[in-house]
């Protein structure tokens, strides 16, 4: 495998879901999937649950309930229809998010290296 082919096989894109939890008629999801197909890349989906952030911004209980009830459906649809895994993270506010994501990525990379996939 050439260096370019190796790079292409290792491309990975992140789809961050916030409020729009649709997979049909979702232009951002469609665009990232098309680009991933073109680049022979994988896509991972992410949703962040931020209880304190929701309180600060006065999110309605109805909206929060809808989001939390829709996440399992989204995860199933992404996996079955698009072969995309949905990761759900919980943090109080977005202030802590960068650190948590970096720690998660560091752990994933360590696990990947330990498994012999360098």
- pLDDT tens profile 9-50: 578 899 999 989 999 999 999 999 999 999 999 999 999 999
And the tokens for 105? 């990525």
- Three-state DSSP at 85 gives strand
Q: What is the pTM of this model?
A: 0.76
Question: In terms of pLDDT, which residue wins out, 79 or 105?
Answer: 79
The predicted-structure confidence for 94-108, as pLDDT tens digits, reads as follows 777 778 777 777 666
Tens of pLDDT, residue by residue over 108-117, are: 666 656 666 5
Instruction: Give CA 93 to chain center in angstroms.
Output: 17
Residue 113, pLDDT score: 61
Query: What CATH topology corresponds to 3-114?
Result: Rossmann fold (3.40.50)
What does the pLDDT read at residue 41?
Answer: 93
| C-alpha to C-alpha distance for 104 and 96, rounded to whole angstroms | 13
Residues 6+ positions from 47 with CB-CB distance below 8 Å: 16, 17, 18, 21, 71, 74, 86, 87, 88, 89
Residue-level pLDDT at 112: 58
Residue 99: per-residue pLDDT: 80
């Amino acid at each position: 495998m050439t260096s370019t082919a190796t790079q292409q096989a290792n491309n990975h894109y992140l789809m961050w879901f916030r409020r729009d939890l649709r997979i049909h008629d979702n232009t951002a999801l469609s665009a990232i999937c098309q680009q991933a197909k073109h680049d022979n890349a994988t896509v991972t989906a992410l949703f962040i649950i931020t209880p304190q952030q929701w309180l600060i911004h006065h999110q309605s209980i109805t909206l929060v309930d809808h989001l939390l009830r829709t996440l399992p459906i989204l995860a199933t649809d992404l996996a079955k229809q698009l072969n995309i895994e949905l990761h759900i993270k919980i943090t109080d506010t977005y202030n802590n998010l960068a650190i948590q994501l970096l720690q998660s990525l560091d752990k994933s990379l360590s696990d990947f290296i330990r498994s012999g996939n360098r």
